[in-house]
Chain A
């Protein structure tokens, strides 16, 4: 329940109390009618008044928010019910009607008391709400290595400490790992000195062969062991080499992305061949490359606070983070031609000359795609039996070729094979205004080989 909403439990109990007051009222009236010597008016009036009070209190409850309801319920409603019960008891005794209230009422109060006590118990315990982790840490502006390592620390331990609780951040590492020197009681290896240790460990015999050999892919994650240059591109260390060039950073990264690539003795399942650790760049932890690097930066520097000389990971640069909204404003806008530019500028901006030779455009001598001599070529291509497009004349053909490059793939006469399909971007339709495409089509439809 949100703070501005009514609480479901207190509202519900208020309603049941109203029903209870109604029940008592009916019960009393029935008793009075049955017996001559009991005054219906008096007792009916008393319990009718209780009913009205209860009803008003309940409707007040309905209009309240949670925090008000709690105090109102316990100070007013419970009190009213208590007095009502007393009055009911007096009624029973005075007229000698019943020895005690009916079992359904007793059972009801017994149950309500127990379960409200249970709810009270749960509210007595320490309260902690756990919010879902942010999707990825955003990096704002230039940061120093110290801040970067701090970001790693927050991923590991969380931003704030709560009294009496283990500090656990998004990465959830301290659930299993320990970080203080000499503390070996964790479920998983102590990470003190891991950076240094990692660099030497990769040379050990056990690392070479168990559980998978260096150079082989670990089945679960597909990571090739001992081969930093084969790590996914966005996670890879710049300039990473093969196994011989592995440094501590590579070892830590590999251990995070492929825990089972190497299992420290005594910490794995199935004879230390299977690591219990989750893959860090996959759900549920899902650290981004920047976050993985931040954690590495922390692990490389936490033994010697203030000293970041051992950190080998690069600082994140502005454009490799999930910070599109920051960089989207200025020059990073998507390519678009409006049609108001001169034709040469449009074609250069779109990058056509990179692949095509286009007569009339200076410097357009690309050879990856067919030369654009469409005035002569297009009619022939429409007649080609391989042609499956919809164009019936040159202009339509050119337009189609720009917007849907795969509709017809031209034969490279010189090599006697087709030009590669899919090389030409298929998203020109997002880059051209209507005016622009008309101008370009007009221009290209008139191109022909010189001389």
Chain B
């Protein structure tokens, strides 16, 4: 990593910063993921013990009650849990400590003239979630960027300053968005109370303490947030205080995560309840209700999703400023911010499918039938739409990478491979998009000679799709590696060996993925599922081994020229916009799927939705709502960013990061 020439000093810092970033990201990711993953791994053992202890305790309580209280007193009723089992596999028993779920009737639902209650609630919920997810993601960003800034201070003060300023700017936006989120939360709460009073009453009885804790945690979050933001300049002494400041951001994130997890418990309880009996009576253990089976996967999935979503927003914010920038310095700055945001975003995107896989696994474990409804029942088309969205994301990400690469000197060596990567992407995506059952007219059916096309029909099954998506990820990783090394002339003595290794890893992984995919056609369905694990492993190997070898080859490398910040192409900029809007839409889509799979239940199998809105929407209606939510939230984002920029105006005259009011732009 050391360079001899002084001119490369700036470059040194930059590349150093870039290398620290992945490590910092990885650490942060591990910090978040560990509790969930480790918890899940050890849960099986710990759970048995815990349950055993609980039952022993329950027995004791029962005995005591019997001894202490004389006859004639109402005996405590015991009932079976709908989800939790003791270590023998029998349903766990708990004392009944709540009323059964009510049979909701007409009086439990209110509605307005202009729209169905369900739609209003959907909008309120989705807007709150979008903002919540942005507000939770930005502190994660700030924490990482500030940390990187502190770490690079000695080697490159200029870059360090830049990182610090970026983190501070982001926090400023987050502050406005924070109160906006709270307002939307209030709107959501009142929507629940006014339009779904019966349902909300039941939820409130079960989650009473959690709701209070949640409200109190908000106080803590606000306090820490204000100290963090307003103490920024005060604590920026470059030494101990700065570290304290950075640790406040960790605290802020922890509190934010707890907040999100608490709110998640309501949603996961509705989808896959636990801690209650069949009639919906609370069984006395609040932890069971919170920690229902989907709680951890949904939490992890949301954290990753938040990072990606936040990356998309920050990226498009920077992209917008890049387009409106008035001088080269600004342009260079925002180009660089785009890069950082996209980097974080794509980094969050790569593990996202695996978290989703875990979530689906838990859904299947909870009720296989729920899983099948998702993947093969009425929700199946929505997953095809998801496939389209994933494709858009891949196209956007690759287009951005190609365009960014093209402005790096020395990239011509690699640019010629771009078209082949595009071809591979498209072919894979064609496979990924081919549906299992095709809508067709009788004439077409006759021409094809059956419902299955003899050639593309093979692409309809899971084997082909897994193969395709793994190849697409591998291809994107390869593109990223090339991007990393595009301006470096590798000078390590083992350069050839290293290149051979990287090539071997990628070709090997691709062969393995394709082989397993083809092999899958010759296996029965239940064994075929197992193949996805080695396929994913191959993909991850390319990610980790490839990146590791690639980075270690940069030692003593010669630079062929700096990245020319501020020369990002228009296509690249619009690719960022595309990514941002796809994320927003996709997030709404997956949220809708997760929520709609309950079908006609408020709380799965416990509290039935008896309202007139209990049906599942057609795909078209849902799609329109998603589009509305997406556009509506972005309008709000623009307003929030604009409000945030008003404060900056009077501060520093030179600050370029304000969204100019429209009229000024024209002058």
Binding site for B on A (CB under 8 A): 1-2, 5-9, 12-13, 16, 23, 26-27, 30-31, 34, 97-98, 102-104, 106-107, 110-112, 114-116, 118-119, 121-123, 125-133, 164-165, 168, 172, 175-176, 185, 187, 219-220, 276-278, 282-284
Tell me if B624 and A284 are in contact (CB < 8 A). Answer: no
- List chain A residues, Cβ under 8 A from B614: 131-132
CB of B157 within 8 Å of the partner chain: no
Supply 12 A–B pairs (Cβ within 8 Å), ascending by A: A1-B621, A26-B662, A30-B663, A30-B667, A111-B630, A111-B631, A119-B626, A122-B623, A125-B384, A127-B618, A219-B89, A276-B368
Contact pattern, B 600-622, Cβ under 8 Å of A = 1, otherwise 0: 11001110010000111111111
**Residue in chain A with minimal CB distance to B384:** A125
Tell me if B320 and A104 are in contact (CB < 8 A). Answer: yes
Instruction: Give the distance in Å from the alpha carbon of A278 to the alpha carbon of B278 in the complex.
Output: 14
- Asked whether A102 and B628 contact (CB < 8 A) given A132-B615, A282-B278, the answer is no
Select one of B89, B525, B609, B624 contacting A9, CB under 8 A: B624
Tell me if B577 and A12 are in contact (CB < 8 A). Answer: no
Instruction: Give the distance in Å from the alpha carbon of A127 to the alpha carbon of B320 in the complex.
Output: 37
A26-B662, A129-B615 are known contacts; what are 20 more A-B pairs with Cβ within 8 Å? A1-B115, A1-B621, A5-B116, A12-B632, A26-B663, A111-B577, A114-B581, A114-B582, A116-B627, A126-B619, A129-B616, A129-B621, A131-B616, A133-B600, A175-B373, A187-B372, A220-B91, A278-B369, A283-B605, A284-B601
Shortest Cβ gap from B494 to chain A (Å) = 46
Instruction: Give the distance in Å from the alpha carbon of A102 to the alpha carbon of B321 in the complex.
Output: 11
CB of B635 within 8 Å of the partner chain: yes
Instruction: Give the distance in Å from the alpha carbon of A125 to the alpha carbon of B113 in the complex.
Output: 29
Tell me if A175 and B372 are in contact (CB < 8 A). Answer: yes
Binds A, one of B178-186, B375-383, B506-514, B650-658: B375-383
CB of B350 within 8 Å of the partner chain: no
Instruction: Give the distance in Å from the alpha carbon of A136 to the alpha carbon of B61 in the complex.
Output: 41
- Asked whether A219 and B388 contact (CB < 8 A) given A6-B114, A119-B626, the answer is no
Tell me if A122 and B622 are in contact (CB < 8 A). Answer: yes
- List chain B residues, Cβ under 8 A from A5: 113-116
Tell me if A8 and B616 are in contact (CB < 8 A). Answer: no
Tell me if B369 and A122 are in contact (CB < 8 A). Answer: no
Instruction: Give the distance in Å from the alpha carbon of A131 to the alpha carbon of B374 in the complex.
Output: 16
Shortest Cβ gap from B1 to chain A (Å) = 38
Instruction: Give the distance in Å from the alpha carbon of A104 to the alpha carbon of B525 in the complex.
Output: 51
- List chain A residues, Cβ under 8 A from B324: 102-104
- Counting from the closest, the 10 A-B pairs by CB-CB distance are A122-B623, A132-B600, A283-B605, A123-B620, A103-B323, A119-B627, A219-B90, A127-B618, A130-B616, A9-B628
**Residue in chain B with minimal CB distance to A219:** B90
Q: Which of A6, A9, A27, A121 has the most CB of B within 10 A?
A: A9
CB of B88 within 8 Å of the partner chain: yes
Instruction: Give the distance in Å from the alpha carbon of A119 to the alpha carbon of B618 in the complex.
Output: 12
Q: Which of B439, B581, B600, B626 has the most CB of A within 10 A?
A: B581
Tell me if B439 and A126 are in contact (CB < 8 A). Answer: yes
Shortest Cβ gap from A92 to chain B (Å) = 10
Tell me if B385 and A125 are in contact (CB < 8 A). Answer: yes
- List chain B residues, Cβ under 8 A from A172: 369
Binding site for A on B (CB under 8 A): 88-91, 113-116, 119, 123, 278, 316, 320, 323-324, 367-369, 372-373, 376-378, 381, 384-385, 388-389, 437, 439, 525, 574, 577-578, 581-582, 585, 599-601, 604-606, 609, 614-628, 630-632, 634-635, 638, 659, 662-663, 665-667
Residues of B contacting A: mostly: helix
Select one of B378, B384, B632 contacting A128, CB under 8 A: B378
**Residue in chain B with minimal CB distance to A176:** B372
- List chain B residues, Cβ under 8 A from A278: 367-369
- List chain B residues, Cβ under 8 A from A116: 627
Tell me if A111 and B634 are in contact (CB < 8 A). Answer: yes
Tell me if B662 and A23 are in contact (CB < 8 A). Answer: yes
- List chain A residues, Cβ under 8 A from B381: 125-126
- List chain A residues, Cβ under 8 A from B622: 122
- List chain A residues, Cβ under 8 A from B384: 125
Instruction: Give the distance in Å from the alpha carbon of A94 to the alpha carbon of B625 in the complex.
Output: 40
- Asked whether A121 and B385 contact (CB < 8 A) given A107-B577, A129-B617, A284-B369, the answer is yes
Tell me if B615 and A131 are in contact (CB < 8 A). Answer: yes
Tell me if A118 and B599 are in contact (CB < 8 A). Answer: no
Instruction: Give the distance in Å from the alpha carbon of A289 to the alpha carbon of B278 in the complex.
Output: 18
Instruction: Give the distance in Å from the alpha carbon of A112 to the alpha carbon of B578 in the complex.
Output: 11
Select one of B114, B625, B632, B666 contacting A98, CB under 8 A: B666
**Residue in chain A with minimal CB distance to B601:** A284
Shortest Cβ gap from B405 to chain A (Å) = 23
- List chain A residues, Cβ under 8 A from B368: 276-278
**Residue in chain A with minimal CB distance to B596:** A130
Tell me if A115 and B631 are in contact (CB < 8 A). Answer: yes
**Residue in chain A with minimal CB distance to B664:** A30
**Residue in chain B with minimal CB distance to A120:** B623
- List chain B residues, Cβ under 8 A from A128: 378, 618-619
Tell me if A9 and B627 are in contact (CB < 8 A). Answer: yes
- List chain A residues, Cβ under 8 A from B621: 1, 129
Instruction: Give the distance in Å from the alpha carbon of A98 to the alpha carbon of B662 in the complex.
Output: 14
Instruction: Give the distance in Å from the alpha carbon of A427 to the alpha carbon of B7 in the complex.
Output: 97
- Asked whether A122 and B624 contact (CB < 8 A) given A130-B615, A220-B90, the answer is yes
Shortest Cβ gap from B140 to chain A (Å) = 25
- List chain A residues, Cβ under 8 A from B582: 114
**Residue in chain A with minimal CB distance to B667:** A34
**Residue in chain B with minimal CB distance to A114:** B581
Shortest Cβ gap from A417 to chain B (Å) = 16
- List chain B residues, Cβ under 8 A from A219: 88-91
Shortest Cβ gap from B82 to chain A (Å) = 9
Tell me if A102 and B666 are in contact (CB < 8 A). Answer: yes
Tell me if A123 and B600 are in contact (CB < 8 A). Answer: no
- List chain B residues, Cβ under 8 A from A126: 381, 439, 619
- List chain A residues, Cβ under 8 A from B114: 5-6
Shortest Cβ gap from A23 to chain B (Å) = 6
- List chain A residues, Cβ under 8 A from B89: 219-220
Shortest Cβ gap from B445 to chain A (Å) = 10
Instruction: Give the distance in Å from the alpha carbon of A165 to the alpha carbon of B618 in the complex.
Output: 15
Shortest Cβ gap from A66 to chain B (Å) = 10
Instruction: Give the distance in Å from the alpha carbon of A119 to the alpha carbon of B628 in the complex.
Output: 9
Shortest Cβ gap from A333 to chain B (Å) = 24
Tell me if A125 and B320 are in contact (CB < 8 A). Answer: no
- Asked whether A118 and B626 contact (CB < 8 A) given A127-B620, A220-B89, the answer is yes
Q: Which of B323, B601, B618 has the most CB of A within 10 A?
A: B618
Tell me if B574 and A110 are in contact (CB < 8 A). Answer: yes
Shortest Cβ gap from B241 to chain A (Å) = 39
**Residue in chain A with minimal CB distance to B451:** A164
- List chain B residues, Cβ under 8 A from A165: 437
Select one of A9, A23, A31, A175 contacting B377, CB under 8 A: A175
- Asked whether A13 and B631 contact (CB < 8 A) given A26-B663, A111-B577, A118-B626, the answer is yes
Instruction: Give the distance in Å from the alpha carbon of A219 to the alpha carbon of B116 in the complex.
Output: 43
- Asked whether A110 and B630 contact (CB < 8 A) given A278-B369, A284-B369, the answer is no
Select one of A13, A27, A111 contacting B666, CB under 8 A: A27
Tell me if B620 and A122 are in contact (CB < 8 A). Answer: yes
Instruction: Give the distance in Å from the alpha carbon of A186 to the alpha carbon of B620 in the complex.
Output: 30
Instruction: Give the distance in Å from the alpha carbon of A277 to the alpha carbon of B278 in the complex.
Output: 18
- List chain A residues, Cβ under 8 A from B585: 115, 118
- List chain B residues, Cβ under 8 A from A118: 389, 585, 623, 626-627
- List chain A residues, Cβ under 8 A from B631: 9, 12-13, 16, 111-112, 115
Instruction: Give the distance in Å from the alpha carbon of A424 to the alpha carbon of B424 in the complex.
Output: 81
- List chain B residues, Cβ under 8 A from A115: 581, 585, 626-627, 630-631
**Residue in chain B with minimal CB distance to A278:** B369
- List chain B residues, Cβ under 8 A from A176: 372
Shortest Cβ gap from A350 to chain B (Å) = 29
Instruction: Give the distance in Å from the alpha carbon of A125 to the alpha carbon of B435 in the complex.
Output: 12
**Residue in chain A with minimal CB distance to B605:** A283
Tell me if A132 and B599 are in contact (CB < 8 A). Answer: yes
Instruction: Give the distance in Å from the alpha carbon of A129 to the alpha carbon of B378 in the complex.
Output: 9
